[in-house]
Amino acid sequence: MNNYDEEVVLLLQDKVRLIPSGRTSIYLVGPIKMPINLQGKVVDFTWYSWLKGEETMGNITCMIDRLSRANLAELQQSSVLVYGDIQHAEQSLIRFHSICHTGDIFGSKRCDCGYQLKQSMAQIVDHGHGALFYLANHEGRGIGLFSKAIAYILQENGYDTVDANLKLGFVDDARDYGDAIEVLKTFRTKPVTLITNNPRKLEALLKAGMSIRGRVPLWGDVSEYNEKYLKTKMERSGHLNSRGDHKGLFTLN
């Protein structure tokens, strides 16, 4: 190793955490300053990204050494925006947001993802403390962007979101929250309030041993373009309505 490498390692050693996760490990890098234009105002978030190794990649030096050969641009990495002191705050708002290339980036009206992303960031800032996890391997409920395009063609021909995924050989919802929860636990062990309509996210947190203080529903931006999509979420995917009383699923306050 040359001197330059040692300098790099020194710069990074307080910014890269190794989180053991079963037989693998998660490298969490951050905090990184992230000023964000939110509804015309600049808000100071801090940003972290993480990478899960299929095998333990060893210490920081080994990890850096392998980065340039890892071809990470071909894969998706997740990240989290943190606002305020989420470690100590009595109540913290958490959002697990599944990536939506079409909704979040292009502003597609076929779904409500773009609205949910901006709205949950604004809610976290209004509240004063929280974190938005942006989950990069969740495109199309975990089927990937190309498959989502195929599923959209089925949807344009009468299939709903659930049936389109099933017809293509996928399960309705393949999303896993395990890594995000491991990362959340490094920030906070106190109870969290989740911004979600999705009971599976609440169940995943409870299963992982996190305690939940409450749930903030997130509905809005209903239009002629996404009405059927939202109805399917409620009727077939068990999403909770704003009162949280859909089909007898548990309600948290």
Indicate the residue among 82 and 113 with the shorter CB distance to Zn ion: 113
Query: Quick count: other Cβ atoms within 10 Å of Cβ 66?
Result: 12
Choices 96-104, 176-184, 201-209, 225-233; region in contact with Zn ion by CB under 5 A: 96-104
Residue 175 annotated as catalytic: yes
Q: How is residue 18 written in tokens?
A: 């190794």
Judged by CB, which is closer to Zn ion: 112, or 179? 112
Residue written as tokens 């599944």?
98
* Smallest separation, CB 158 to Zn ion (Å): 20
Q: Which residues on neighbouring strands pair with residue 25, listed in sequence order?
A: 20, 53
User: Which is the catalytic residue, given 160, 173, 188, 215?
Assistant: 173
Return d(Cα 134, Cα 203) in angstroms, integer. 19
Q: Site residues for Zn ion, window 165-204 (CB under 5 A)? A: none
Nearer of residues 92 and 161 to Zn ion, judged by Cβ = 161
3-state SS of the chain: helix, strand, coil percent to 5? 35, 25, 40
Q: List the x/- string, 32-71, binding to Zn ion by CB under 5 A.
A: ----------------------------------------
**Of 16-24, 98-106, 134-142, 172-180: span binding Zn ion (CB under 5 A):** 98-106
Interior angle at CA 205, CA 107 and CA 201, nearest 5? 35
Q: Does 103 bind Zn ion (CB under 5 A)?
A: yes
Mark residue 177 as left, alpha or beta (left: phi above 0; alpha: psi -120 to 50; beta: remaining): alpha
230 contacts Zn ion (rule: CB under 5 A) = no
Cβ at position 100, least distance to Zn ion in Å: 3
| C-alpha to C-alpha distance for 31 and 44, rounded to whole angstroms | 12
Q: Is residue 100 at the binding interface for Zn ion, with CB under 5 A as the rule?
A: yes
Size of the site for Zn ion (CB under 5 A): 4
DSSP 44-76: EEEEEEEEEESS---SHHHHHHHHTTS-GGGS-
Going by C-beta distance under 8 Å and a sequence separation of 6 or more, which residues neighbour residue 97? 113, 116, 117, 120, 132, 133, 134, 135
Of 29, 57, 81, 113, which lies in the binding site for Zn ion, with binding defined by CB under 5 A? 113
Binding span for Zn ion by CB under 5 A among 23-31, 59-67, 108-116, 190-198: 108-116
Q: Least distance from C-beta 84 to Zn ion, angstroms? A: 27
Task: Give least dist CB 68 to Zn ion, A.
Answer: 33
CA distance 123 to 135: 19
Q: Pick the binder of Zn ion from 60, 111, 184, 204 (CB under 5 A).
A: 111
- Catalytic annotation on 173? yes
Q: What distance in Å separates the CA atoms of residue 27 and residue 179, rounded to the nearest whole number?
A: 11
Catalytic residue annotation: 173, 175
Interacting residues toward Zn ion by CB under 5 A: 100, 103, 111, 113
